[in-house]
Chain A
Amino acid sequence: MKRNGQLLRGARSIFLNGLLFRNPVLVGALGLYPLVAAARSVGSAAALSLLFLLLALPCGLILCFFGMLAPRWFRPGLVLLVSAACYPAAAALADLLLPGSVSGLGMAAGLMICNSAVYSRAEEYAPEHVAAAVLADAFGCSLGFAGVAFLLGALRGLWLTGSLPGAVLPPAGKGFDLPFAGFLMLGFLAALLQWLNRRRAERAAERLKRRIP
């Protein structure tokens, strides 16, 4: 029972790390391109997140079970193969759930295969951890990715249609759905997260100091 509790707590912290504190996008700078180029609205953000989950989950699990069997040098190729194999199914499933969404993503959908967030988790993390941790990590990362995607999509969507609350500026033309706007927004979001993380670290240090006088 105790071990289960420990496992649960461990899983929770892994999940939280993936979701926020070590967000793969904002802290790890992984898998940016699809976000920056394609998260133009809430709809496309949903499609991206779904694809991410559908790729991260099977890839992580497969590598978790079979990753140790392959020699270390072959593992990157294996990950790429597995994710390439998962992709058509994932795309079909995503298209089924959100019709027309995947083709709307254009090139960014294909790029999810070699999305470095999926790739690095599957290559480095999954083979060396137990399935529960891998599951928690995959869900956490997916949620973290989804969070950023939705934020970007919503902000951009608002700006593009000019329905920013209290906006005096007219809607920005096509300019704002270019990747640069995504990068800039990501920059500010990442700064926000970095600020949060620093404050968290400072608080922890203070608490530690109080405990050990």
Chain B
Amino acid sequence: MFAEMMATALLALGAENLLFAGGSGFSRALRSARRPAAAGRYALLVAWFSLASALIGFRPLPPFGTGGEALRPACFAAAAAGVYAATAALLRFLLPALYRRVSGLLAPAAVNTVVLAMPYVRRSFSFGPAAAAGYALGTGLAFYLASLLLAGAEPKCRNADMPAAFRGLPAAFLYVGILSMAFAGFTGGRVF
């Protein structure tokens, strides 16, 4: 279970944002996510969004069957958007100091939450409060570990001796590829 979550988190990280340079969109979040301190905050936010959207988001999901397949992810994403808006508004008006510190991370964390939850959205899961807490904790932890790993990979993917064509992002792709190869050893076939 944890391995699966870890694999998901790793893929989500590799996939959905943050690795690396890029400059488009997430660069600000990236830069802050590269620092281990910010990675902790980031992971906490992801855990919070996971908890909230697991408690809210999974409830009203339409059942499988007629058109539900397309609606379920959409509903969950909408729920996450709602949680994001609520969190951002609350923080902004109640704890502006805290908000300033995490504002750059809030949105990517919300998006990541949706990504991380997607395998569970497709299965018909309904979380009780305890299970939701466990799920959030696992997601947060896996996310934290994964971002630590990628932070450790950063200097390896950007050294002076490597071919210029591979420096930076391409090497990072290869790095994540080999790492996800290792995690694939657990499941052999499918990841999810």
Contact = CB atoms under 8 A, between A and B. Distances in A.
Is B a genuine binding partner of A? yes
B178 A28 contact: no
B38 interface: no
Contact of A76 (B20, B72, B110, B165): B110
Interface residues on A, range: 35 or more
Given A107-B192, A187-B171, A198-B165, A92 B70 contact: yes
Contacts of A102: 70
Given A33-B12, A81-B81, A191 B24 contact: no
A194 B69 CA distance: 38
Interface string A19-50: 00010101111111110110000000000000
Interface string B143-173: 0000000000000000000011111111111
A66 interface: no
Nearest to A81: B81
Contact of A113 (B73, B170, B191): B73
Contacts of A142: none
B74 interface: yes
Interface residues of B, number: 64
B142 interface: no
Given A24-B24, A180-B177, A29 B85 contact: no
A88 B114 CA distance: 16
A87 B167 CA distance: 36
Interface in A75-134: 76-78, 80-81, 83-85, 87-88, 91-92, 102-103, 106-107, 109-111, 113-116, 119-121, 123-124
B83 to A, nearest CB: 9
| Interface of chain B: mostly helix, strand, loop or mixed | helix
Contacts, number: 195
A106 B122 contact: yes
B45 to A, nearest CB: 13
B190 to A, nearest CB: 8
A103 B70 CA distance: 9
A32 B114 CA distance: 15
Interface in B12-30: 12, 14-17, 19-26
A111 B117 CA distance: 10
Contacts of A22: 24
A187 B77 contact: no
A73 B22 contact: no
Closest 9 CB pairs of A and B: A120-B25, A33-B15, A183-B177, A110-B73, A187-B173, A76-B107, A80-B81, A191-B170, A84-B77
